Structure 1
Amino acid sequence: MADRHIQGEDGQDGIRTLAFPAERSVCGVGMRVGSMDPGHTWHSDAPLDRIHRIDFHAVMIFDGGPVRHMVDFTEYEASAGDVLWIRPGQVHRFTATSGYLGTVLTMQPGFLPRTTVEAAGLYRHDLPPLLRPDAPRLAALRASLAQLRREYEDAATLPLSLHTALLRHSLSAFLLRLSHLAASSAAAARRADTTFTLFRDAVERDFATNHSVSAYADALGYSRRTLVRAVRAATGDTPKGFIDQRVVLEAKRLLAHTDLPIGRVGAAVGFPDAANFSKFFHQHTELTPAAFRAELR
């Protein structure tokens, strides 16, 4: 499987972004589905317990557990019947344990048409990775995934072009079920508030240059009080806390995945002064940027 660094030298302890293993998929199509192997690794040089990123979607439906899995520096515990959805670019780490039992689907970005990507919310990074469907929804997901797996493994009865087209349809059906589950969860339902959605999208676009709650409120045409009320209802946090957490997450990603000097990491997330960045990072993580990077290397 191909792998690459985001930036910097390819050192022995570097954090890698691992590419979709097209050469391992049936007929080289842009997706794979199969059983989770307790000893599975995306790459021979990337052990289960090493932090890395993938440039593709990974959906795991668990038959066993519990398993602890880190996604974007938050630990999640998955058990039988749970679903873990890791999106491209998210930092994650397996736990070296035999508890990874179930079915895993991986999908290369670009395999599905844009309309399906948008309808399924494939890049809704604000949604939690861990989903806990009720029994009827889990049964529907399992049935849809089982059908997709049968189509994926049957590469002999259709020409490749039709086989690929059929896979896209079956994959779309599964992902639409999955996205509906994510969007209908209690947390996702709260996030559907229009005011919060507009604020969230604005922060995602501008967090590297704008840390001001008043500036976001003015740009969106809301009073500061309205924004505070909407964000607190959706997340339990303040608008300033929401902005800061997004900045911290990006800083962690850059510290983990690049060899950029601390000052340049700070500048990339809106802190031209390295000392101010270090103070901000320490305030939110109780670690200096250098200490956080050292823990991962």
Structure 2
Amino acid sequence: MTEQDPAQTSAHLGATPEERARIRTYPFDPRTSVSGVGIQVGPMGTEGPWAGGADLSRRVHRIDFHVLLFFRAGPVHHMIDFAEYEVGAGDVLWIRPGQVHGFSATEPYVGTVLTMQPGFLPRSIVEATGLYRYDRPPLLHPGPDQLAALEASLAQLQREYLDTETLPLSLHTNVLRHTLTAFMLRVAHVSAQAAADECRPQPDTTFTRFRTAVERGFKTNHSVSAYADELGYSRRTLVRAVRAATGQTPKAFIDRRVVLEAKRLLAHTDLPVGRIGVAVGFPDSANFSKYFQQHAGTTPAVFRAEQV
């Protein structure tokens, strides 16, 4: 999962057209985990975002797994989906699968990192912990008591992760799942508070299935009715579930995901605007430009120019 950073100049000297035309996606590699399990826990390093785990490039990229960074020093400036977050000691940064982000090229990352493969936790825990609540802020500021509890829980998780001698692999993996569940429930509580969601109903399976379907199909399908038919729900049921979970209509949720992907490609690749439109479901360049301007408040060309 290592990659030499080609972005030595603003022109990405040495990068091929293919490299410049896509955002590099890093998969979770269980081969780098202790015993090949679906999580990694280790210290962040200074010769890359962290040591003992995935050495991700400083270049802007996306991941297909969860990353939780627990900082013991700061400030550090980290970019996630066009927002820059200033992170200090005691803060937690939660980066979810599919998000585009970039590490600071000059500031050291000091603390502990947890990476988690999608599917490692059962669906009931995924729902309870809000693993895919993209509406929640990635930057968390635990209070002193919360931080102490998180640190103790994380330390226990790291001990279980490194203990490969006292249990057979199957039991070791189950213990890790239970320990990770306890830890993630604590993180989820801080996340819910950060988003002021403790008084809002949690997303039910209807919303979770819709979000998964949108993530899988937004590049070609922008129709609420089509998603409702695919999932076997009435349009009214889908509207209620999505509004309860996000405060948005299903159409607004789809549009937001389409525009986010377009912004990522405009900002972080050299693809022509027309090809970006095709990539998010608009074969006609004029229709894409009109759609983007309606939802982003500016044209694709102007948005791209502002990112330089």
Q: Distance in 1 between matches of 2:130 and 2:49?
A: 27
Query: Does the residue aligned with 2:197 lie in a helix, a strand or coil?
Result: helix
Q: 2:222 maps to which residue?
A: 209
Letter in 1 for 2:38: G
Partner of 2:194: 185
Letter of the 2:288 counterpart: F
RMSD of aligned alpha carbons: 4.1
Equivalent residue for 2:259, pick from 248, 251, 254: 248
Query: Conserved in 2, the CA contact under 8 Å of 1:22 and 1:28?
Result: yes
Q: Identify the match of residue 18 of structure 1 among 26, 49, 72.
A: 26
Cα deviation per residue 1:198-227 (whole Å; 9 max; x = unaligned)? 7xx68x84975259xxxxxx943899xx9x
> % of aligned pairs identical?
55
Whether the 8 Å contact between 1:2 and 1:21 is mirrored in structure 2 is no
Structure-2 separation of matches of 1:14 and 1:294: 19
1:219–1:22 Cα change, 3 Å: closer
Question: Which ranges in structure 2 are unaligned for 5 or more consecutive residues?
Answer: 4-15, 225-233
Match of 2:122 among 99, 108, 113: 113
Contact 1:17 1:54 in 2 (8 A): yes
Task: Quote the Cα distance in structure 2 between the aligned partners of 1:31 and 1:185.
Answer: 25
Q: Does the residue aligned with 2:131 lie in a helix, a strand or coil?
A: coil
Unpaired segments ≥5 residues, structure 1: 212-217
Describe the SS at the equivalent of 1:188. coil
Residues 1-297 of structure 1 aligned to structure 2 (within 5 Å): 1=1, 10-11=18-19, 14-41=22-49, 47-48=57-58, 50-189=59-198, 192=201, 205=214, 209-210=222-223, 219-220=235-236, 245-255=256-266, 262-267=273-278, 269=280, 271=282, 273-281=284-292, 284=296, 286=298, 288-289=300-301, 292=304
Change (3 A) 1:51 1:40: same
Q: Distance in 1 between matches of 2:86 and 2:125?
A: 29
Q: Cα distance 1:267–1:13, how it changes in 2: closer, same or farther (>3 A)?
A: closer
TM-score (ref. length: structure 2):
0.72
CA–CA distance in structure 2, aligned partners of residues 242 and 119 of structure 1: 21
Judge conservation of contact 1:2–1:19 (CA < 8 Å) in 2: no
Number of equivalent positions: 278
Q: Which deviates the most, 275-284 or 174-183? A: 275-284
Runs of 4 or more consecutive aligned structure 1 residues displaced over 6 Å after TM superposition: 237-243, 257-260
What is the TM-score when the length of structure 1 is the normalising length? 0.75
